[in-house]
Structure 1
Amino acid sequence: MREDPALAYRAAAQKLVDLSDDVSAERSYEAVADALSDLRVAVARVYGARRRQADGVGGARQRILRYLTAHRGEWVSGAELAAVSEIGEWARRIRELRVEEGYDVEENGGRYRLLSETPDSERRDRYRMVTKLRGSDESATDRIQELFDELVGKAVTADELDRVAHGRGGAGIARQIRDHELLPIESSADAPDLRTGEHRLVSAREVDRLHPSQRLFPEDLRRQVFARDRYMCRKCRRRHETVDSLGEVFYLVVKHLDATPNDVAGLPGDDLRRLSRLATSCNRCYASGL
């Protein structure tokens, strides 16, 4: 006859109580682990299929969140979270809490701590927006175009581009959109505050589109010109950081010193890409012919 699970639960719980002194002295680990195992088995027998309903919505992820919340600001070990969640993929649940739900969970050497009980709603909503775009039936190009439209003026990460593109190649599609639509989409070549792989649509307004001649200056060439000029317009001497606070549309373009934008395409290839004849200009000076 099978043992009454409630009796088994009491026995295992009593065994743990009896081992309290050993735990305080950090002894008898195997005995404590066996008692815990017996307790888990008894609980599983009591609740059976009703366990998830009794546990509430979210399962392991919510158990981890409750534990982190109860110890907010304290470092807890991965071993604790594994025990709380009772699953092998507890680290994935931490990532979900951080990325999908917007909780500020800090990690350091296999330890974790929750810094705030209130999730970052902007980060959460952004993740959900990216997920929604990823599930769209539109082409990868249209999905990424929509992503930029949703996040005008904000850096879009390489991971977000790849997620929306259903794999790798998101950055390449961003460059294609820039060249085809002449949208001022910056990369780390154009703006020093962007990390490798990040892109940013500066403006979606028609008046702010690039001149067609900018297609002649690929990303690697722009990087060389802008880095040499310290990402500063040679005419007005402005940089990104000097205009960001004003909310002004500002981005850098390549200006050829020997030809107007309309005549650049007629230059020989060597003359077109000779660094000594290329200069950094901001969009405003470039549009004014300065």
Structure 2
Amino acid sequence: MTPADPVDDFRAAVAQLAALADEVAAERSQEEVLEALTDLRVAVTRAYRGRRPRSEFGGARGRILRHLTKHLGEWVGSDEIAAVSGIGEWARRIRELRWEDGYEIEEGRGRYRLLAESPDHARQARFRTVTSIREMKGPVDERVLTLLRSLVGTAVTADELDRVARGKTGATVARQIRNRDLLPIETDADAPDLHAGEHRLVSMREADLLHPSQRLFPEDLRRQVFLRDKFTCRTCRRGHPGADAPADEVFYLEVCHLDAAPDAVVELSADRVGRLARLAASCNECMGASAPPWR
């Protein structure tokens, strides 16, 4: 028996799809349309002997990018992305387009949209930085600290922290580093411009280390104090992020106890240490001033 010509099968599938145009317009016969599409894919596969198409980023990734570019600025559903990609791991390809290639793709409610046709080269460079740190040997806390140092003064996302932590929760490691080394590492509890999961190392200078008393105030307690005080120092009334301060001036908030100087807080009972009414937000400058707010 002479094997069927895949080109003839292709023409037949195209003709069948064209004949179903009115059914598609009326949102009918979906199963028949999908069957015709399957026949078309099989014919294409046979015609090209199973060779995968080449594109700038590889098959599925390139197809997703072309589709999003065609609908630039429009929301595209995840089911549509899955159909365009032709693979089950399409979500991974979206992440690759974002981080490896620098495309700004917004996500919301299971939908995606490309915001700019050209990639962001700064985003690409940042991805390379995160990847190089991830591949470093040594303990996980060293990798996380290296990431925070390399992006000092910049918000680091939970995804970036997790990437360099390689299997551990990067945010947990960052908090452990803060508590151990007293580095001014902010979370969304400390700064209103940070989103959940983001961390920012404010400064690496020894002069900007947190006071050891800050180990007594966990993140949930800091959050309550700073929210109540509207992220504003109770003494100088400067608010985070200190917009009126010079660009090179370091600003971050600490918790001060109104009943004891920082060095004496450790002598208070646990109940008094955590008494919200006796705690206040203080900027790093006022915490180190000669006339601090507890006097």
How far did 1:57 drift?
4.2
- 1:46 aligned residue: 47
Q: Is the 8 A contact 1:258 1:277 kept in 2?
A: yes
How far did 1:118 drift?
1.5
SS at match of 2:52: helix
- 1:69 aligned residue: 69
How many Å separate the matches in 2 of 1:127 and 1:220? 31
After superposition, the C-alpha distances for 1:168-224 in whole angstroms (9 at most, x for unaligned) are 432332222112222111223322333333322111112211233333333344334
How many Å separate the matches in 2 of 1:84 and 1:278? 56
Paired residues, number:
289
Q: Is the 8 A contact 1:243 1:250 kept in 2?
A: no
Pair 82,162 (structure 1): closer, same or farther in 2 beyond 3 Å:
closer
Moved more, 126-135 or 101-110: 101-110
- 2:214 aligned residue: 214
- 2:144 aligned residue: 144
Pair 41,226 (structure 1): closer, same or farther in 2 beyond 3 Å:
closer
Q: Is the 8 A contact 2:76 2:113 kept in 1?
A: yes
Letter in 2 for 1:184: P
How many Å separate the matches in 2 of 1:110 and 1:34? 26
How far did 1:270 drift?
4.9
Q: Give RMSD over aligned pairs.
A: 2.9
How far did 1:281 drift?
1.7
Pair 269,87 (structure 1): closer, same or farther in 2 beyond 3 Å:
closer
Letter in 2 for 1:250: F
After superposition, the C-alpha distances for 1:88-146 in whole angstroms (9 at most, x for unaligned) are 33344334323443323345555543232112333333333323322221211001101
Structure 1 unaligned spans of 5+: none
Q: Is the 8 A contact 1:5 1:46 kept in 2?
A: yes
The two structures have a TM-score, normalised by structure 1, of 0.83
How do residues 216-231 of structure 1 correspond to structure 2 at under 5 angstroms? 216-231=216-231
How many Å separate the matches in 2 of 1:52 and 1:282? 58
Pair 36,155 (structure 1): closer, same or farther in 2 beyond 3 Å:
same
Pair 102,244 (structure 1): closer, same or farther in 2 beyond 3 Å:
farther
- 1:279 aligned residue: 280
When you count helix as a share of all residues, which structure comes out higher?
1
How do residues 158-237 of structure 1 correspond to structure 2 at under 5 angstroms? 158-237=158-237
After superposition, the C-alpha distances for 1:226-271 in whole angstroms (9 at most, x for unaligned) are 3343322121111114437632211112233444434444455555
Moved more, 276-285 or 72-81: 72-81
